[in-house]
Structure 1
């Protein structure tokens, strides 16, 4: 370093054409001092002398910085205290065990890689700074050369983001660099900072960074230091350019949120309010959704007003969430915290942020978001990526976007969407769900008479579903959104859409055993169908509402709905709808003889309608009820005729139902091996169709011929599987009956 400084002084003097004596005369620095500087024998050049020399040599600012930085390296550093700049640790701090472990792993010193960097990223108020400071205090002893901290104010409510040069100057001051030794150029200051910490083991905490550019000059260049950066933005430049580790900070778990609320309120407060406090605390936790800042605001409100019960706080929060979480102090206001991220968005990004808030359901897939925004796949993806980078939305492993409930409430009011923009976006996303669901429904039952849909509105892009597994996967992923979409359609008086969504969900609900959802969507559909001019929609709605009641064992309600469907179909003289009503009435009739009569009436009507699949349905129903009445020969004839029709028209679902019926007939007539074969064939089809409702019933029936053949272990195995499926579907009575049968060792 000394030789380099000496060479620099000689170079500058010779370039200026000055002898040592002339330079001494011009600068006032003694000749002996200049000679010492030029030979490198003077190890501690006085900075005042260096500055006088620089003036005499007419150095440019960058040349002066070079000379000063070199001189600073030559000078003996003054003794300074080890910096301990960390603010006080958060109190109370609860949970985050997994995140602390991840930080331990990410910031483990590694001589091979040098400086390690970890970014903590999440939305405002989620607890990034708390986590960073908690880890920093727990691990302070790992950094004997000190800890540096700066709040970069990247999202401050009352100031612009801090100029990194200001933060850098603060670090240099802390490290004992005298003002006259600090270079003028920012890049030279950064170089000096890196030189000073190069051989040290330090922790640098950069809180609330706005972007990568604000951080890069504050990073050590070598050694075994560690850097923790918190931000609402993802700082992808640090990941790609610096190899930083990325840690996404999410909301608290239910247990952690409860612990934080209890720690803030105090155990005595909870004991005083006893049982009422427990219920109110549970509601507060639900309304705050694991958001640390929201929980802290609520706890502070309750703490400052001991006369305010937790039930009162919960009631206020339920009625006007964001107002309760607001405060004149921006540091204690969730809306203020969120507004800082919102204000950083472009107009287009802010509009999409507002549109996501009105999308039905708890999350949204990329394809549905394309329709919601109406911007096309490429542009929509770019805007969503920006919102994700700003930590206003999250994306899971399946690529689905989700917005925290509190962020959604803020977004719904923060961006004032024009009525026509809001209405058009909702129409596009509802059409997306309706058209995609309709296509999926027709895949699940290729013989089902289709309903007529208007073309999708401009900007709507329905998804293509290639086969049954893809359709079932899509329905599974979108189920809650489809339910919310139907409710939104009904609320917006889009009654045709509400009815169409119920129709499209029918087979999926049946296969998956979603009996309560099935009932709910058809109750909505009956109300919407009443507002439509076509009587057929109302008849279908009543019939399928009756079927939904059948699945839940609501026999009086089912019969009432089905009789209504039958009466309306007779008024319209619609024999197909009459046949459907009789066919469904058979499934709910309280005695098998009456059920058989309804099935026979349905068959008689279908045989004159040229609807082979519907005729096969009725044939199988007549066979089933005949078997239950002990009329096995007639039962077999009807079921074999149904099977032939199903196979001729390639209706595999109907084929499985009839194979199941033939299994029952053979079991009841003592042909147990044939019964097992029929049941197994039916199960193979049902498993391919992912029809767990029928799988459970067929498994239950399969156990009986196994017992008759002495295969009790096989019987118990299929009954256990059936019981588990019943439980998954909420069919508790059936599950309990099988549990009792399995517990019976006789």
Structure 2
């Protein structure tokens, strides 16, 4: 102990003499005398007090030795010793202060700041206090790079064995390999390139690009490809971290773990990193200060996982990929979103050409197109299909296309033992991250019959309220399991639908599936019935059963023959409604089948979609026959007659209408029978049987009057009688009936019916030689037809208007009217376009004499 004290005293004297070298040697020799712990094995308070006193003496000598050696420039060696001392004595602020200085003088500023952050957290947790003024002052000086802290001059007596300098850490270059067969995405790559608009092609501010899209769309491949293109612009490093936000193998990577990974990539010793997340983030930002670094954060789960990793200095670029939209980063952190959709058909073909060779794909172009279609242009699916073709090079591509054509087993064809190359497995990672309610909605959408779904239909599908369902749809959209291509309508990628269908078959009981199917069919039936009543208020109604519990049918204002909500809804939902009819028929829901077909029949007729009308009504007729419901069959025969007549099969149409009259008469449905007579009159007219046409029109009028049905249907019958009189050359009788119809108050808010009557009136006036009045009547009809969007009726009136103009010697006006009619008929694909074209040709080659 005496030798120790003597050597420490000599060191003190050497320091007063400014002989740091001697002071360091004396302190080193003094500490060498210290062997183990004093008074080992002796118990008691006195022995413990002596041990504490001696330990303080030793630590004082250690502190003095470190201080002297720091002044001699041995920063790296002293830093290593101080790091161990801080671990042994974590609450000793003096050791921590010297460690910060040693690290700073070693060029490790970020680690010096981290040491302070760790001390602050430790003192707060253990003692509930802040660091002392000396430690805080050291932190502030390092933070502002105080020049007084720089390395002192070299010692007068150089160390014969100086410490080795730590070699400079190479810039990290961690990007995964670029895909050599990358194709397409030129527009999206150019959009991300636009973020590099600062000096030297780097961001003027911190650039954050968020690449989102559904599972398997190629987000990571795209991001890696772009990062390789711009890597030379970031000479201080290109870092890659897979955040595993949707990885089935384990938990997502925490921000703290990611921060440590980055800091270690820059050479920071793990033992020196603080535990406090804020201090760790501060060290990270300090480490990146002044650097130009590209950071690729792949497969992020949410904004909270990414936000701590955003640098604070200009010149850095962060690229984030995620299946979620990460709206928080866009809203609060200035990130720019870039959405990746499936490939175009051309890009899909290029992918297969790059993978399989141009010769092989050129030999089977039809099979290539089928594979692209069955894979729904999803890059992952196309890549798996290409790999399957490569491993079976002797098989034609048509074999693969045939395997993919089976929707039930398509996902099996696109599977692989490597889950990263298995479409089903990749989808499952997104699905299993959902809340239970959102997962249920995702499964139930597989039961929805159409290509897209509205909020109200989704609410009926789930049996939940619209606001609750909207939240679930938002969750699915955020996860890119559904898309919202237009506001308020949601769709499912074909392969995701196949995956949802697998899930519902294996997860949900058959009774639950059946109840869901009934709810969605009820939604469309009651909504379509209401829309049809608003769109065609004068049509004979049918009675519906009450909808299932939880169904939320659409509501429409009355009198919506104009292009209003009901007509718009029918236009928007047409494809879904037709799919619903097929679904109902396929699952034996016969009442839904025929009633849905009836509900949209008038809409399809007005839109001139007669092939669709006929197809749906045949399904409906089979269902009505199974139900043995003659009233339902009569309604369907009416619609089939209209479709057959408009498609040129008039005899078949007459048979349908006569059967409808027979069934309605047997059922005692007087007004429905009267309506059928009016339609039979029209069919007879198409056959040229004008006497029969007038007879059935008169039967219709008499039937409505007998039933005291004096509303719009009777007005339509009046017009039908007038029209038949015109065809028979009885123009004055015709005009009388038409004028009686125009005087009826029921025409108020019935633009379609009023247009029909004005058209009939115009033709009667034309034949009576009252051409100006006829033109005025036709123009009234045209204005009304255009408000309700009935193109064929508008074309017919334009043809007649042209006839009247020609009869008046107004050739150019006739030409203009017929030209407009021809354009409408050609758009509809109507057979009458040939006759109108011939009229125009005659007008050109043989103009009438003036």
Under a length normalisation based on structure 2, what TM-score does the superposition of the two structures give?
A: 0.79
C-alpha distance in 2 between matches for 1:491 and 1:68:
78
Deviates more, 1:735-744 or 1:428-437: 735-744
Partner secondary structure for residue 224 of structure 2 = helix
Deviation at 1:510, TM superposition (A): 2.5
The residue aligned with 2:736 is 637
Contact 1:592–1:629 (8 Å) recurs in 2? no
Alignment counterpart, residue 69 of structure 2, candidates 8, 33, 39: 33
Deviation at 1:23, TM superposition (A): 5.2
Deviation at 1:336, TM superposition (A): 0.8
- Unaligned segments of structure 1, at least 5 residues: 1-15
Partner secondary structure for residue 555 of structure 2 = coil
The residue aligned with 1:7 is none
Does 2:177 match 1:79?
no
Partner secondary structure for residue 706 of structure 2 = coil
Does 2:328 match 1:328?
no
Quick one: structure 1 residues 189 and 578, their matched pair in 2 at CA, closer, same or farther if it must change by over 3 Å? closer
C-alpha distance in 1 between matches for 2:509 and 2:198:
53
Quick one: structure 1 residues 675 and 144, their matched pair in 2 at CA, closer, same or farther if it must change by over 3 Å? farther
Deviation at 1:490, TM superposition (A): 2.0
Q: Deviations over 1:343-396 (max 9, x none)?
A: 222322221111111111011111111111111122212222111111111112
Does 2:641 match 1:609?
no
C-alpha distance in 2 between matches for 1:66 and 1:432:
72
Quick one: structure 1 residues 448 and 308, their matched pair in 2 at CA, closer, same or farther if it must change by over 3 Å? same
The residue aligned with 1:419 is 510
Alignment counterpart, residue 236 of structure 1, candidates 322, 327, 330: 327
C-alpha distance in 2 between matches for 1:228 and 1:252:
21
Does 2:469 match 1:380?
yes
The residue aligned with 1:177 is 268
Deviation at 1:108, TM superposition (A): 4.0
Contact 2:759–2:778 (8 Å) recurs in 1? yes
The residue aligned with 1:688 is 787
Alignment counterpart, residue 199 of structure 1, candidates 275, 287, 290: 290
Quick one: structure 1 residues 241 and 20, their matched pair in 2 at CA, closer, same or farther if it must change by over 3 Å? farther
**Which structure has more RCO (C-alpha within 8 Å, separation ≥ 6)?**
1
Quick one: structure 1 residues 701 and 88, their matched pair in 2 at CA, closer, same or farther if it must change by over 3 Å? farther
The residue aligned with 1:405 is 494
Alignment counterpart, residue 798 of structure 2, candidates 699, 705, 718: 699
Equivalent residue runs for 1:426-445 within 5 Å: 426-445=517-536
Deviates more, 1:554-563 or 1:319-328: 554-563
Quick one: structure 1 residues 140 and 697, their matched pair in 2 at CA, closer, same or farther if it must change by over 3 Å? farther
C-alpha distance in 2 between matches for 1:269 and 1:528:
48
Contact 1:69–1:192 (8 Å) recurs in 2? no
Deviation at 1:227, TM superposition (A): 0.8
Contact 2:461–2:520 (8 Å) recurs in 1? yes
Contact 2:822–2:837 (8 Å) recurs in 1? yes
The residue aligned with 1:461 is 552
The residue aligned with 2:542 is 451
C-alpha distance in 2 between matches for 1:371 and 1:597:
48
Equivalent residue runs for 1:322-361 within 5 Å: 322-361=411-450
The residue aligned with 1:12 is none
Equivalent residue runs for 1:34-113 within 5 Å: 46-52=78-84, 54=86, 58-59=90-91, 72-76=103-107, 78-106=167-195, 108-109=197-198
The residue aligned with 1:672 is 771
Partner secondary structure for residue 364 of structure 1 = strand
Q: Deviations over 1:38-67 (max 9, x none)?
A: xxx998784214325535764389x99898
C-alpha distance in 1 between matches for 2:379 and 2:367:
17
Partner secondary structure for residue 284 of structure 1 = helix
The residue aligned with 1:560 is 655
Equivalent residue runs for 1:294-333 within 5 Å: 294-319=381-406, 320-333=409-422
Deviates more, 1:188-197 or 1:385-394: 188-197
The residue aligned with 1:5 is none
C-alpha distance in 1 between matches for 2:461 and 2:632:
28
C-alpha distance in 2 between matches for 1:60 and 1:249:
54
Deviates more, 1:349-358 or 1:702-711: 702-711
C-alpha distance in 2 between matches for 1:86 and 1:495:
59
Larger radius of gyration: 2
Deviation at 1:591, TM superposition (A): 0.8
Alignment counterpart, residue 592 of structure 2, candidates 491, 497, 504: 497
The residue aligned with 2:113 is none
Contact 1:388–1:394 (8 Å) recurs in 2? yes
Quick one: structure 1 residues 715 and 228, their matched pair in 2 at CA, closer, same or farther if it must change by over 3 Å? farther
Count of aligned pairs: 721
Quick one: structure 1 residues 570 and 174, their matched pair in 2 at CA, closer, same or farther if it must change by over 3 Å? same
Does 2:610 match 1:511?
no
The residue aligned with 2:681 is 586
C-alpha distance in 2 between matches for 1:475 and 1:67:
78
Q: Deviations over 1:673-710 (max 9, x none)?
A: 22221111112222222333322332333333334445
Deviation at 1:455, TM superposition (A): 2.1
Deviation at 1:634, TM superposition (A): 2.4
Partner secondary structure for residue 464 of structure 1 = coil
C-alpha distance in 2 between matches for 1:494 and 1:417:
20
C-alpha distance in 1 between matches for 2:672 and 2:521:
28
Q: Deviations over 1:546-571 (max 9, x none)?
A: 11212222223212222322333344
Task: Report the RMSD for the aligned CA atoms in angstroms.
Answer: 3.0
C-alpha distance in 2 between matches for 1:681 and 1:625:
21
C-alpha distance in 1 between matches for 2:633 and 2:569:
28
Contact 2:246–2:433 (8 Å) recurs in 1? no
Quick one: structure 1 residues 73 and 641, their matched pair in 2 at CA, closer, same or farther if it must change by over 3 Å? farther
C-alpha distance in 2 between matches for 1:262 and 1:651:
59
Alignment counterpart, residue 596 of structure 1, candidates 668, 687, 694: 694
C-alpha distance in 2 between matches for 1:675 and 1:720:
19
